[in-house]
A and B are shown apart, each in its own frame.
Chain A
Amino acid sequence: MTTKPNWRGMTRRQLIARSFAAGTTLIVGAGFVAAPNAAWAYEAAALKPETLATLIRMARDIYPHDHIGDAFYVTAVKGYDTAETAAEIEAGIAALNAAAQGAGHASYLDAAWEDDRVALLRGMEKSAFFQKIRGGLVTGLYNQKELWPLFGYEGESFSQGGYIDRGFDDIDWL
């Protein structure tokens, strides 16, 4: 479930040079989406890069954790970047962009305030598309083992002998 985003070994300058459309937080290039600091880049397989960038933004707006990098959200949604699912995702994101335009934004990504984007999502909360993306994120995001330590969760413990000698009762502030 947790393959590392596709790092292409590009510098920030190279990334920006290749890009043709920059959202507020992601760099969208010909066939790829990348972090502005070049921490990661992901090559789109079946989805349009703009669609993928919007999907990543949508994922973060659904489950925003400011201390969690985009790479985790990319991992959570990249399963939709396949020939089988592309049409459905393109349609769903198109509907999201249409809703954004109805609210006076150029696109979903163009709505700069999270509150504005969340209002758009609330408006489509009951849709099958939204529910599919949200439901998928519950495991797609939170079941990434690399993410657990960022929430303090320690995961597997048997191999370390459990917590009998590792603080099962170490609470000291009560």
Chain B
Amino acid sequence: MVAKFDLNDDSVVLIIGTGAGGGVLANELAQKGVKVVALEAGGRYLPEDYINDEWDAFGQLSWLDARTTSGDWRVAQDFSGLPAWIVKAVGGTTIHWAGASLRFRPHEWKARTTYGHVAGANLLDWPIDAEEMAPWYEKAEAKLGVTRTGNFPGLPGNNNYKVLEKGALALGYKEVSTGRMAINSVENDDRPACQQTGFCFQGCKWGAKWSAAYTDIPKGEATGNLEVRSNAQVLRIEHDEKGRVTGALYADKEGNQHFQKARVVCVAGNSIESPRLLLNSASEMFPDGLANSSGQVGRNYMRHVTGSVYGVFEKPVRMWRGTTMAGIVQDEARFDPSRGFVGGYELETLSLGLPFMAAFLDPGGWGRGFTSAMDDYERMAGMWIVGEDMPQETNRITLSSTVKDQYGLPAPNVHFDDHPNDIAMRSHAYRQGEAIYRAAGATRTFPTPPYPSTHNLGTNRMSEHARDGVVNRHGQTHDIANLFISDGSQFTTGAAENPTLTIVALAIRQADHIAAELSRQNL
């Protein structure tokens, strides 16, 4: 039975956003008997609603509220109104995600200690480490059904993978596989095995890929402890005179505003909306925004060092067939400053359909240089670079002074400048990626610039000391005991790995903490 809670019920835990962080937290709390209201700005879409069509799916699922950009990153030039590609729907960006599920490497929890001082970078060690996270990673991998963990076999390699593997092995790389994917390689969790349809980014119509939309959310609702309100966009978090948060004001589908009371508030709106909400909730008591005594809310925005490499071959590859991202080379993820940068990167297969390829291969490009590449679409293979970028205080989410959203609230501006370490890493990765494809026989390669951010991290970062960050080791804000951050904005540093497994592991761990604190009457 799906629960229904009263707006004045101040005993509930209120979760804002239902993606990787919020969706998992909601279910985990509900399983423990905690009453939860989850407010989600987007609508509800299930596998039968997903569309095998790139632009149609984009229009159906994307977060398209007003946003602005600044800084020297290519995205600000190519996609000035679309800094990030994320989802506005129940289940959040786990509808779009490709499923790559990697643990951080042990040293990546301690970037400041391992890398030392890096000029211009605001590096900090996480207050937690690999050993502490190991059991939570195990739970997360079991929940997501991650291949090559537990008893789940790896996925078979598709055409795009085979090209990557051939070139990578020829270059001497050793850690080459179809990766650890939150995609069923066998039937599991009442969901089928992957049918290799492609379109992992558009929502998996088979439900073979894990998404909170059709796993954690309905499971949480089935407990009778979770109410998910869709089309409920939170505008502001309120607090009392003691400085404790009391609930949130939100707008429903018709634009009517309601206030949901709560005992605890957990913010999980992804790394642009979460800090924006804290900043938009500024009050007389907290003039710089909620939980912002450190001044770090919105800062240290990270998006991974990304970029893609496409290669054209003499014969057809048909990279779009099958899984979008099940293929990885991990050798470069090591820590090895002799390459001219700290941190490492992964190379993962990636394919775009023809419509997205036209938009992203070389944004702004035209003429025969561009179209001859498109003419070879069928003979292309593709890979994506994902590497650790440096947190910088000046890379940040701020409130626009000119642009407002549909509710009249200041839109977020996303400012990002590449750090020299980011640029050195990207150049290295382009070279290696192009070398891989050349080794597999490519006649032409493309170092494709970053797309709008799919990994958005770090804007409410976790820190041992209140002066250095926004939340403590449990994601609880240093300043306000009953206010938590539950999404990727907690990341102290970004590591080389795709972030979602870590977001999920942190959410499971946070649920354990919140439930325990509630029962101890500490919250």
CB neighbours (8 Å) of A61 from chain B are 367
One of A148, A157, A169, A173 near B52 (C-beta < 8 A) = A157
CB neighbours (8 Å) of A156 from chain B are 52-53
Contact flags A52-89 to B (C-beta < 8 A → 1, else 0): 00000000011111010000000000000000000000
Known A65-B371, A153-B378: A163·B322 in contact at CB below 8 Å: yes
- Check A139 against B377 for contact (C-beta < 8 Å): no
**Does residue B198 face the partner (Cβ distance < 8 Å to A)?**
yes
One of B159, B206, B357, B366 near A169 (C-beta < 8 A) = B159
- Check A134 against B322 for contact (C-beta < 8 Å): no
- Check A163 against B166 for contact (C-beta < 8 Å): no
Which of B10-18, B121-129, B313-321, B417-425 makes up part of the contact surface?
A: B313-321
- Check B159 against A138 for contact (C-beta < 8 Å): no
CB neighbours (8 Å) of B314 from chain A are 173
Contact flags A116-152 to B (C-beta < 8 A → 1, else 0): 0010000000000000001000110111000010011
One of B52, B55, B195, B357 near A139 (C-beta < 8 A) = B55
CB neighbours (8 Å) of A161 from chain B are 195
Known A63-B366, A142-B354, A143-B55: A152·B318 in contact at CB below 8 Å: yes
For A65, the closest partner residue in chain B by CB is B371
- Check B375 against A67 for contact (C-beta < 8 Å): yes
- Check B52 against A174 for contact (C-beta < 8 Å): no
CB neighbours (8 Å) of B374 from chain A are 63, 65, 142, 151
A148, B377: Cα distance in complex, Å: 10
- Check A155 against B53 for contact (C-beta < 8 Å): yes
Known A164-B195, A168-B321: A64·B162 in contact at CB below 8 Å: no
**Does residue B242 face the partner (Cβ distance < 8 Å to A)?**
no
- Interface of A (DSSP majority class): loop
Known A118-B367, A168-B158: A151·B377 in contact at CB below 8 Å: yes
One of A134, A148, A153, A158 near B197 (C-beta < 8 A) = A158
CB neighbours (8 Å) of A174 from chain B are 162-163, 166, 440-441
- Interface of B (DSSP majority class): loop
**Does residue A171 face the partner (Cβ distance < 8 Å to B)?**
yes
A46, B166: Cα distance in complex, Å: 55
A-B contact number at CB 8 A: 115
User: Closest CB of chain B to A174's CB: distance in Å?
Assistant: 5
User: Closest CB of chain A to B160's CB: distance in Å?
Assistant: 9
- Check A162 against B197 for contact (C-beta < 8 Å): yes
CB neighbours (8 Å) of A62 from chain B are 366-367
**Does residue B43 face the partner (Cβ distance < 8 Å to A)?**
no
CB neighbours (8 Å) of B367 from chain A are 61-62, 64, 118
A141, B355: Cα distance in complex, Å: 9
User: Closest CB of chain A to B357's CB: distance in Å?
Assistant: 8
- Check A151 against B375 for contact (C-beta < 8 Å): yes
- Check A162 against B354 for contact (C-beta < 8 Å): no
- Check B196 against A139 for contact (C-beta < 8 Å): no
User: Closest CB of chain A to B316's CB: distance in Å?
Assistant: 7
CB neighbours (8 Å) of B378 from chain A are 151-153
CB neighbours (8 Å) of B158 from chain A are 163, 168-169
- Check A169 against B377 for contact (C-beta < 8 Å): no
Counting chain B CB atoms within 10 Å of each CB, the highest count among A63, A134, A152 belongs to A152
One of A63, A151, A169 near B370 (C-beta < 8 A) = A63
User: Closest CB of chain B to A172's CB: distance in Å?
Assistant: 9
- Check A157 against B198 for contact (C-beta < 8 Å): yes
**Does residue A104 face the partner (Cβ distance < 8 Å to B)?**
no
Counting chain A CB atoms within 10 Å of each CB, the highest count among B53, B315, B353, B440 belongs to B353
CB neighbours (8 Å) of B243 from chain A are none
- Check A64 against B163 for contact (C-beta < 8 Å): no
CB neighbours (8 Å) of A118 from chain B are 367
- Check B196 against A152 for contact (C-beta < 8 Å): no
- Check A154 against B163 for contact (C-beta < 8 Å): no
CB neighbours (8 Å) of A148 from chain B are 354
Tell me which residues from 172 to 187 in chain B have a Cβ below 8 Å from any Cβ of chain A.
none
User: Closest CB of chain A to B442's CB: distance in Å?
Assistant: 12
**Does residue B451 face the partner (Cβ distance < 8 Å to A)?**
no
CB neighbours (8 Å) of B322 from chain A are 162-163, 168-169
For B317, the closest partner residue in chain A by CB is A171
Q: Can you report 15 residue pairs joining A to B where beta carbons are below 8 Å apart?
A: A61-B367, A63-B366, A64-B371, A67-B375, A139-B55, A142-B357, A151-B375, A152-B316, A152-B318, A153-B378, A155-B52, A169-B162, A170-B159, A173-B314, A174-B440
Other contacts beyond A63-B371, A138-B359, A155-B52: 14, CB < 8 A: A62-B366, A62-B367, A63-B366, A64-B371, A134-B366, A148-B354, A152-B318, A162-B198, A163-B322, A169-B156, A169-B159, A169-B162, A169-B322, A171-B317
